[in-house]
Amino acid sequence: MIATNLENRNGKLFFARTDTAELIRAFGSPLYVMDEGRIRANMRIYRDSMAAGFGGGAMPLYASKALSFKRIYEIAREEGIGIDVVSQGEIHTAERAGFPMEKAYFHSNNKTDEDIAYAMDKGVGYFVADCGEEVDAVEKEAARRGMRQKILLRLTPGIDPHTYEAVSTGKVDSKFGSAIETGQAEAITEKALGCPHIELAGFHCHVGSQVFVSDVYMRAARVMLTFIKNMKDRHGYAASELDLGGGYGVRYTEADPVIDIAKQIGSLSAFMKELCGELGIALPSVRLEPGRSIVADAGLTLYRVGSVKRIPGYKNYVSVDGGMTDNPRYALYRSRYTVLAAEKLDEKETFVCSVVGRCCESGDIIQENVSLPASIARNDILAVLTTGAYNYAMASNYNRICRLPVVMIKDGSPYVAVRRETPDDLIRNDL
Ligand code: LLP
């Protein structure tokens, strides 16, 4: 199995030591299931290996765009890590969960004046300013309030992480950040240093998501630390924080490599300490922003099979009671997933089919070229693995389909973290 929280017990799929078929019987179908223990373990890997490698000032920020609801922020709070938030909605959810907002870093390449005021009202600790206009907008609002706002500047280091286009963000022509290569990064540094109501804490970059190539962060760190040295030499400014963004990859299928994140962080910290020595600068407090690698393998989605269609000489379809509304990632990125018949794990998988959803759209595909047991039939349960990241977070109500609940498993006991939507929820704002 692709993750250690999955087991085959007599042909039945167990997740977080729980029978998945029992879960669907107890909570209905379709269903997102999350393993709380795995979320915490993933957070601790980052927290502990960053502290060990970089020292006590280092901290992971959970990139909550990957999966955002109140319980997740409570867990992040309990694990003592920070968060990355990108909208008023994420800020609101985190605040309602009692998250200490001074440990929140506010991203987005286009914060409106209302967003800035909202985040300041809520006491968000850091703004990650994307460009000069945003620095001006933050300075203006902080001045109006007579306060000093901590910021990081988001820079583009000019690195291609060899991941897929939609999630590649560190290149110079990206919509995110200000480029070092063009001189714009230095210009906004000077601007921020000249703002009386801004405290420039340091710099941020994010090269991309689902990154497996181990030298990507080292290349990014080299560019960023060199920039920090240049700013020290040219402007006498010593950055105290360096945030290298998110992105370690996760295993969606057996074809994806296994990465040892603790080991990666160990080598990254050794590399950065040595480089800081060579450059003659102090190691800044390091931040990483993992999203996917915290929650992806802590989740799976369970569906019930509906019709099974065989088109002789052409193709086979297995329809499920969800689809692109709960998992749009195949439709958007052709993302690969592992699909299993949850109660037929010991049967040979000889039936090749497309697993499709129930939206009125041909592109509503969960996965193509899936091999399932030939006996697959109506009411069987399918499990799509590794759906903890960017599934619930990207779910929609297309076709007025209700969003799924999230059932969390803690120490073998399930509890509902997000209720199933009802048709009444859908018309709540209709006048
Ligand atoms: N930090 C920043 C500034 C980011 O933009 C992102 C992801 C992360 C951290 C977290 O990256 P992660 O550790 O999750 O790879 N919807 C796409 C993913 C978009 C990622 C956007 N930014 C997907 O489903 O693959």
Instruction: Identify the DSSP state of 208.
Output: B
Q: Do 239 and 192 meet the contact criterion of CB atoms below 8 Å apart?
A: no
Active-site annotation holds for 360: yes
Provide the pLDDT for residue 155: 97
Q: Which atom of ligand 1 is nearest to the CA of 290?
A: 13
Q: Where are the domains of the chain?
A: 6-35+297-426, 36-295
Provide the pLDDT for residue 170: 66
Q: The domain at 6-35+297-426 falls in which architecture? A: Beta Barrel (2.40)
As for ligand 1, residues whose beta carbon falls within 6 Å of it are 63, 66, 84, 107, 167, 169, 206, 209-210, 245-247, 289-293, 329, 333, 389-390
- In angstroms, the CA 357 to CA 364 distance is 6
Nearest CA to ligand 1 atom 9: 246
Please determine, for residue 165, whether its predicted confidence score (pLDDT) is greater than 60.
no
Superfamily of 36-295 according to CATH: Alanine racemase (3.20.20.10)
Which residues share a beta bridge with 301? 32, 384
Please determine, for residue 211, whether its predicted confidence score (pLDDT) is greater than 90.
no
Rg of the Cα atoms in the chain: 23
Q: Do 198 and 120 meet the contact criterion of CB atoms below 8 Å apart?
A: no
Q: Helix or strand or coil: residue 258?
A: coil
d(CA 195, ligand 1 centre) in Å: 30
Nearest CA to ligand 1 atom 6: 246
pTM, two decimals, is: 0.97
Bridge-based pairing state of the strands 351-356 and 315-320: parallel
- In angstroms, the CA 82 to CA 241 distance is 14
d(CA 68, ligand 1 centre) in Å: 13
Q: Which atom of ligand 1 is nearest to the CA of 293?
A: 13
pLDDT digits (tens, 9 = 90+) for 373-424: 999 999 999 999 999 999 999 999 999 999 999 999 999 999 999 999 999 9
Q: Which helix (H) or strand (E) holds 288?
A: strand 285-288
Q: Do 104 and 96 meet the contact criterion of CB atoms below 8 Å apart?
A: no
Mean pLDDT for the chain overall? 96
d(CA 292, ligand 1 centre) in Å: 7
d(CA 208, ligand 1 centre) in Å: 7
Rounded average pLDDT over 113-135: 97
pLDDT digits (tens, 9 = 90+) for 347-365: 999 999 999 999 999 999 9
Which are the contacts of 55, defined by CB distance < 8 A and separation ≥ 6?
Answer: 283
Q: Tokens 């480029």 sit at which residue?
A: 179
Q: Do 305 and 376 meet the contact criterion of CB atoms below 8 Å apart?
A: yes
Which residue in the list 195, 276, 353, 360 is annotated as catalytic?
360
Q: Do 8 and 346 meet the contact criterion of CB atoms below 8 Å apart?
A: yes
Rounded average pLDDT over 83-101: 98
Residue 225 tokens read as 């630390």
